[in-house]
Amino acid sequence: MGEKNIWLAVWRRLHIDLWLFIGLVVISGYGLLVLYSASGANEAMFRNRIIQVGLGFTVMLVMAQFSPKFYQRLAPYLFGVGIVLLILVDLVGTTSKGAQRWLDLGLFRFQPSEIVKLAVPLMVAVYLGKRSLPPKLGDTFIALLLIIVPTLLVAIQPDLGTSILVSASGVFVVFLAGMSWWLILIAVIALAGFIPIMWFYLMHDYQRTRVLTLLDPEKDPLGAGYHILQSKIAIGSGGIWGKGWMQGTQSQLEFLPEPHTDFIFAVLSEEHGMIGFTVLMAIYLFIVARGLMIGVNAQTAFGRILVGALTLIFFVYVFVNIGMVSGILPVVGVPLPLVSYGGTSFVTLMAGFGLIMSIHTHKEHFFKGTK
């Protein structure tokens, strides 16, 4: 073996997909740059973020080492634990901003909804992956049941945004597994019919306000509309070229709410303009494209639908965050993937990418040599 081959062997041992890895490194680096400015050059926050990023990459790396079979076996336990914790949160969780989302474990608080973000697609993928695809009607319903239970548990916290994302992550699995288009059509119609019920009976006042605010932020520019209005002003005033790094007046002078977390996209758009947005979207789309490609090339049905679903949900986070910050979606607490400050979100996402890499790099090599 030559030296080159040694490196290749080491690389193979790392169980990493180079293209996806590059995409993740670039987006994390860009995120660090924006965060430094968004935090007002807060060095402590910047250091924390580096730790978060390091932790995230470590989790990804570790998760990539286990074979997909391990995750298939783990899925029901993870799913079960997730459900139990969600029930616990609903019963004894810590209230923050009128919603019970956190479980205080003494040492740290964490959101069980983060677990189900991964556990739900994993569970559904395991369930459907074992069956012939496209799934039969009965299997589809059981899969949907696996989605609905955690979704409702999250929704009553109440955390409407996350519950929609959790259900979406599961639904993508079912969709990619080949759920019939007729069923999809019926589901869409049912959902459309459900919206008014949700509006009048299930949504809290503050949730309704958010939606109404979205429709007309100018109605109450200093109250409910303040966040979204300031965010739009930040984005719009960035123009094509942006005001320059650390030069965004909306963010630096603190007119923009939560500039380092959920609204970091506004900081990016203000300081780097349309160009910065385009670069960001290009990297995201590269990651999504690479993810879907890995999915297409996966060996097992489980691998395919899980990778595909995780990739799509990643894009949904991107879309929802940018959509809400730029004023076309209601404000739900969804961070900008891999860019917003916050360890939980970063680590959960990287865990997902760890799963994707695990599936990509643990192929059974029956066919090697026949080619």
Partner 1 sequence: MKLKKWLAQPAHEPIRDKKAERNLFARRALVSFLAVIGLSAILFTNLYHLQVVNYDTYQTRSNGNRIKLLPLPPTRGLIYDRNGKLLAENLTFFGLYIVPEKVENLDRTFEELQSIVGLTQEDIANFSKERRRTSRYTSILLKADLTEEQIARFAVNQYKFPSLEIKPYFKRHYLYGEPLTHILGYVAKINDKDVERLKKEDKIANYAGSSDIGKLGIERYYEDQLHGTVGFEEVEINNRGKVIRKLREQPAVAGKSIHLTIDLDLQRYILDLLGGHKGAVVVLDPKDSSILAMVSTPSYDNNLFVGGISGGDYKRLLDDPGRPLYSRVTQGAYPPASTVKPFIAVAGLQENVITPGTTVFDPGYWVLPNTTKRFRDWKRSGHGYTDLNKAITESSDTYFYQLAYNMGIDRLSAWMKRFGFGMPTGIDIREETAAIMPSREWKQKRYKKPWVQGDTISVGIGQGYWTATPLQLAKALSILINNGKVNTPHLMKSVEGSTTEVYQDPLLYDDITEPKALYWDLAKRGMYNVVNAANGTARKAFAGTNYHVAGKSGTAQVFSLKENQTYNAGSLVKELHDHAWFIGYAPYEEPKIVVAVILENAGGGGSNAGPVVRRIMDYYLNIRWPQLHGEGSQSDLPESLPHNDQVVE
- Asked whether 33 and 272 are in contact (CB, 8 A), the reply is no
Q: Give the footprint of partner 1 on residues 313-332 (CB under 8 A).
A: 315, 319, 322-323, 326-328
Binding partner 1 (rule: CB under 8 A), the pick from 157, 163, 167, 269 is: 269
Nearer to partner 1, 31 or 238 (CB): 238
328-to-13, 69, 78, 157, 281 alpha-carbon distances in Å: 44, 41, 35, 25, 17
- Asked whether 20 and 353 are in contact (CB, 8 A), the reply is yes
Binding partner 1 (rule: CB under 8 A), the pick from 273, 335, 352, 354 is: 273
Q: Give the count of residues interacting with partner 1 (CB under 8 A).
A: 52
Nearest approach in angstroms of CB 155 to partner 1 is 23
Q: Give the footprint of partner 1 on residues 29-88 (CB under 8 A).
A: 72, 76
Binding partner 1 (rule: CB under 8 A), the pick from 67, 134, 148, 279 is: 134
Q: Helix or strand or coil: residue 362?
A: coil
Nearer to partner 1, 86 or 143 (CB): 143
Give the amino acid at 23. Answer: G
Beta bridge pairs of residue 96: 99
Element (H, E) at 10: helix 3-14
Q: Give the footprint of partner 1 on residues 226-255 (CB under 8 A).
A: 230, 232-240, 249-250, 253-255
Residue from 163, 161, 203, 154 nearest 324 by CA: 161
304 belongs to the binding site for partner 1 (CB under 8 A): yes
Q: How many CB atoms lie within 10 A of CB 158?
A: 19
Task: Name the token pair of 367.
Answer: 């066919």
Rg (the chain; Cα; Å): 21
Beta bridge pairs of residue 262: none
126 belongs to the binding site for partner 1 (CB under 8 A): yes
Question: Could you tell me which stretch among 22-30, 98-106, 198-206, 302-310 binds partner 1 (CB under 8 A)?
Answer: 302-310
145 belongs to the binding site for partner 1 (CB under 8 A): no
Query: Could you check whether the bond before residue 217 is cis, i.e. omega within 30 degrees of 0?
Result: no
Q: Give the footprint of partner 1 on residues 160-179 (CB under 8 A).
A: 172, 175-176, 178
Nearer to partner 1, 103 or 266 (CB): 266
Question: Could you tell me which stretch among 58-66, 82-90, 189-197, 300-308 binds partner 1 (CB under 8 A)?
Answer: 300-308
Instruction: Give the number of C-alpha atoms closer than 13 A to the C-alpha of residue 12, restricted to the C-beta side.
Output: 8
Instruction: Give the number of C-alpha atoms closer than 13 A to the C-alpha of residue 163, restricted to the C-beta side.
Output: 18
Nearest approach in angstroms of CB 177 to partner 1 is 8
Give the amino acid at 339. Answer: V
Binding residues for partner 1, per CB under 8 A?
A: 72, 76, 126-127, 130-134, 172, 175-176, 178, 230, 232-240, 249-250, 253-255, 269, 273-274, 277-278, 281, 285, 288-289, 292, 295-296, 301, 304-305, 308, 312, 315, 319, 322-323, 326-328
